[in-house]
Every structure is written in C-alpha cells, then in structure tokens.
Amino acid sequence: MLDDDYKTAKKVAEDNLNRIIDQMPSSLVRREGEIFAKLSVSKESYFKKLEALYAFLDDLYSFIGKFIPCRRGCDYCCYIEISISSLEAEYIESNLGIRRNLNYDKKEFFGTPCPFLDDSACSIYKYRPYVCRRHHALFDNPKWCQLDLCDKHTFPQIRCTEVDKSYHFIVMTSGAGSLYDIRQLF
C-alpha cells in the first residue's frame, strides 16, 4: 500500500513541477538567470547580497506556494537537518540581537526541533537560513514530510542553478562559509 501511495505522490510531485515550469512568470525566470551575474559583481556587503538573494527566493516561493502543501503550522521540516553557514548565523545574530550557543558536540539532530520553532511556526521567519527558504514539497499533502517517511523516498525538486551558485558564492567569498546544523549554533 505504501509503495502505491509513494508512486501516486511522486506522480503528483512530477505534475506539480511541470506546472510550475510551464506557468513560471518570465520575469522570475529572467531574474533567476541574472541573479548570479548581478550578485557576483555587487559591491554591497555580504549581508546585503544575502538579503537580495533571500528577497528573490521570497518572490519565487510566493509563486510556487500555490503548488505545494507547505503552510504555516506544518513544521515537519523543522525536525530534520537545518544547514546554516557562519555568515547566516552572523546575519541572524545581527538582526535579532541574539548570541550563539556554540553546541558543537552533538552531530545528529534528526527529530530535534529547530531552536527557533515556536508553536509550530518559525520565530525568525524573516531571517531564516537559505536551506529553509529553498525547502519545499511538491506532492499534494505533507504526509511524506513526516519524520518516519521523509528520508525513505525521493521526490522531484525545483532546481535553481543560479540561485544555488549565488548562495555558495556569497558565503564562500565572505570567509564565513563553514556549515553547521542550526542547533549547533543556537
């Protein structure tokens, strides 16, 4: 039964991905294609570059939102690995006036809630890291996001090459590109 459910969910995800590709506004496609070229020559601070990238992702996922089951209150993804760069940790600290805990000892965080999860919602949503902004599910319900299922199957995902390249460029050229789980830092 689970295999049939998975096949159905995978088909829905594939169909949603195709709908997104077919209906994506040309302005978003153009902006995604230009974002790395723009950010790689920008003289802005690393935080400003990160904010520009985040702003684009917010616009992109505003469009994608109608195709995915991800909604406020659905917090399954807040219990899986949440990768964060040192730059993003600094960004969160500077915008929220908080300090890191620096808990480097623990390495396995699957099943442990994000420290910023508050009543099934992200308490730092405006400043959330890149990985949270890029995370999405294309199937029609969050069943496959549940912890006992989320790492058992693979589903289609939206890939934005220039966005990914921009993120890696920003964090690596900032000198703060070390990656951690968010629970190691906060």
Residue range 115-131, pLDDT digits in tens: 999 999 999 999 999 99
Separation of CA 98 from chain center: 21
Rounded Cα distance between 1 and 48, Å, is 49
Residue range 43-92, pLDDT digits in tens: 999 999 999 999 999 999 999 988 888 888 889 999 999 999 999 999 99
Residue range 104-160, pLDDT digits in tens: 676 788 899 999 999 999 999 999 999 999 988 998 888 888 888 888 888 999 989
Separation of CA 173 from chain center: 20
State the pTM of this model: 0.91
- Predicted confidence (pLDDT) at residue 2 exceeds the cutoff of 80: no
- Predicted confidence (pLDDT) at residue 162 exceeds the cutoff of 70: yes
Amino acid type, 130: Y
Tokens of 175: 């000198």
Amino acid type, 97: G
